[in-house]
Amino acid sequence: ISNGTVDIPLQKRLSLIKKCKKHFNVIAEVGSKDQDKEMPLSEWEHEINMLLTTGCKYVITEGRDSGTAGIYNA
């Protein structure tokens, strides 16, 4: 469950995780490939913790391989 391509609010993603975790191992992503979207470290931490607490098996930190977005920033 990702908002990397389509912007899905955190609460909607948490709702989807709750529904899916009963039948699937849920994997979610935090971050964006959009270099104009800056996310403070505290938000990364909060979102990762919320996703794991809600039932994600794994959380992937997203970024652009060019090193200009997501976990890769200037």
Give the domain ranges of the chain: 10-61
Percent of residues, the chain, with pLDDT higher than 70: 81
**pLDDT value at 63 more than 70:** yes
Q: 31: pLDDT confidence band, cut at 50, 70 and 90?
A: confident
- Backbone dihedral region of 46: left (phi > 0), alpha (psi from -120 to 50 degrees) or beta? alpha
